[in-house]
Amino acid sequence: MSKRYFGTDGIRGTVGQAPITPDFMLKLGWACGRVFTERSSEAGRCSVIIGKDTRVSGYMFESALEAGLVAAGVDVKLLGPMPTPAVALMTRSHNADAGIVISASHNPFEDNGIKFFSADGSKLPDDVELAIETMLDAPLETVPPRAIGKAVRVVDAAGRYIEFCKSTVPEGFSLRGLRVALDCAHGATYAIAPAVFAELGAEVESMGAAPDGFNINQGVGSTDMASLCALVRAKGADVGIAFDGDGDRVLFADEQGAVVDGDELLYIIAMHRTAQGTADAGVVGTLMSNLGLELALREAGLDFARTPVGDRYVRERMVAEGWHLGGESSGHIICSDVTTTGDGIVAALQVLQALRAAGKPLSELAAGMNRLPQRLVNVRREGNGALEGNGTVAAAVAAAEAELGDAGRVLLRPSGTEPVVRVMVEGRDAEQVEALCERLAEEVARGLA
């Protein structure tokens, strides 16, 4: 059974356009409340945590979800602006039945979306998402007045999450003497991340920490690293750290102002764990992970497994393999021995532990992985243009693969969060990769027209 609303990471779209509308969010809150209540193993009233990023539309959707949930007889705890992983943490620590995040992650402020966590702080399984979609078709019926839920604001959420982040490093670990440039993307980490790194002793220079409801991810954050790289060079920082709008992704800039992506960060963490004798047998990545990461890990004696794009699939494979490290090149890194979901701040602290232990600059740690040339182009997908069974697209892919031979790979993937097809070409020759990707993207656009 296919899903109508849920994509690879919840429900997402443009504000004011279905389904990202107040009336839908009201019904969604009610449907979630009904499903969570029916599936709760605990006696008594069901409870749900709600957090959000800094988008102006978050106020509207927070109120709509709250109304729907309490109409279904669910108690609601409101966190206000909080990173996505903080919502997962608070869902567990408050023994809530579920957590909801109002965020469109790295998208511009005009978009918004809804993400969900189960009681254990992991993403919702498919059967629960399908049950919610089924419940959306039922008429909204408010519970009897005595059974209506209540809503309260949690006033100590930020402080509790800051302390949790600091608890993920060994006792006595210090960043004293380290100059850190932070880019909070004018998003959910704007008040929390500077506090975490400063309280651990770092000298912190912040940017992207003045949200106004409209500037989230605008020229800042992990999707636009130029300003952070310039800040690192201007301030002579040892590292730059960039989060996305909801704080579940992180990328670094090294001391020279060069970007260090999620694949390289995974490699650095894995090598640190190997040196410490705490590494598992392998690491999980995705179809988009650079081939250089796989080769470097295998050279170090570690296995590497690929999954479809999406942190939920990475997490599922990590559980299946019994491994504790996985992630995506976009910077969504999961350290499941530390927390249950991708967490930008926690992942950054894992990298900084490796940096401190090695006593080397970040550029030198990242250089251990030979990142192969990779080019990604997003092709706008208008209307109902399909990839599957498209002869024009299939012929273009076959031609590109033939030209690459055994020296590279081609990947076409419809995005689960945007109306685009991601065209990726990877190989050993940068000029060939660039030319092939541009040509293939043109063919895909023509085939989908």
**Could you tell me the CATH number of the domain that includes residue 240?**
3.40.120.10
For residues 204 and 273, membership in a common domain is answered with no
Q: What are phi and psi of 181, to 5 degrees?
A: -100, 125
Is residue 3 situated within a structural domain? Answer: no
For residues 66 and 19, membership in a common domain is answered with yes
Out of 315, 333, 366, a domain closes at 366
For residues 341 and 390, membership in a common domain is answered with no
Domain harbouring 436, CATH code: 3.30.310.50
- Which residues are within 8 A (CB) of 41 and not within 5 positions of it... i.e. 6 or more apart? none
Integer Cα distance of 13 and 217 in angstroms: 16
For residues 190 and 74, membership in a common domain is answered with no
For residues 251 and 266, membership in a common domain is answered with no
Is residue 4 situated within a structural domain? Answer: no
pLDDT of residue 101: 98
pLDDT of residue 8: 77
Secondary-structure breakdown of the chain: helix, strand, coil percentages, each rounded to the nearest 5: 40, 20, 40
149 and 69 in contact (C-beta within 8 Å)? Answer: yes
Integer Cα distance of 182 and 241 in angstroms: 5
Torsion (CA) 136, 139, 143, 144 in degrees, nearest 10: 180
For residues 250 and 207, membership in a common domain is answered with yes
pLDDT of residue 212: 98
For residues 201 and 326, membership in a common domain is answered with no
Out of 155, 180, 215, a domain closes at 155
Is residue 413 situated within a structural domain? Answer: yes
For residues 341 and 405, membership in a common domain is answered with no
For residues 16 and 70, membership in a common domain is answered with yes
Is residue 5 situated within a structural domain? Answer: no
- Which residues are within 8 A (CB) of 424 and not within 5 positions of it... i.e. 6 or more apart? 288, 374, 375, 376, 377, 410, 411, 412, 413, 437
For residues 338 and 398, membership in a common domain is answered with no
Q: Which of 57, 103, 105, 329 is catalytic?
A: 105
pLDDT of residue 385: 59
Cα end-to-end distance, the chain, whole Å: 28
216 and 224 in contact (C-beta within 8 Å)? Answer: no
**Residue 105: active-site member:** yes
For residues 269 and 344, membership in a common domain is answered with yes
pLDDT of residue 31: 98
Is residue 438 situated within a structural domain? Answer: yes
For residues 137 and 253, membership in a common domain is answered with no
Q: Which two tokens stand for residue 410?
A: 């081609």
Is residue 81 situated within a structural domain? Answer: yes
Specify the number of domains making up the chain: 4
251 and 261 in contact (C-beta within 8 Å)? Answer: yes
Out of 335, 366, 397, a domain closes at 366
> Over the chain (449 residues), what is each successive 10-residue block's mean pLDDT?
84 96 98 94 85 98 98 98 97 96 96 96 92 97 97 96 98 97 98 98 98 98 97 98 97 98 98 97 96 94 95 94 97 96 97 98 97 92 70 89 88 82 93 94 86
pLDDT of residue 309: 87
Exposed e or buried b per residue across 198-231, where buried means at least 16 C-beta atoms within 10 angstroms of its C-beta: eebebbbbbbbbebeeebbbeebbbbbbebbbeb
Is residue 6 situated within a structural domain? Answer: no
Domain holding 278, by residue range, is 260-366
Integer Cα distance of 295 and 428 in angstroms: 13
Is residue 192 situated within a structural domain? Answer: yes
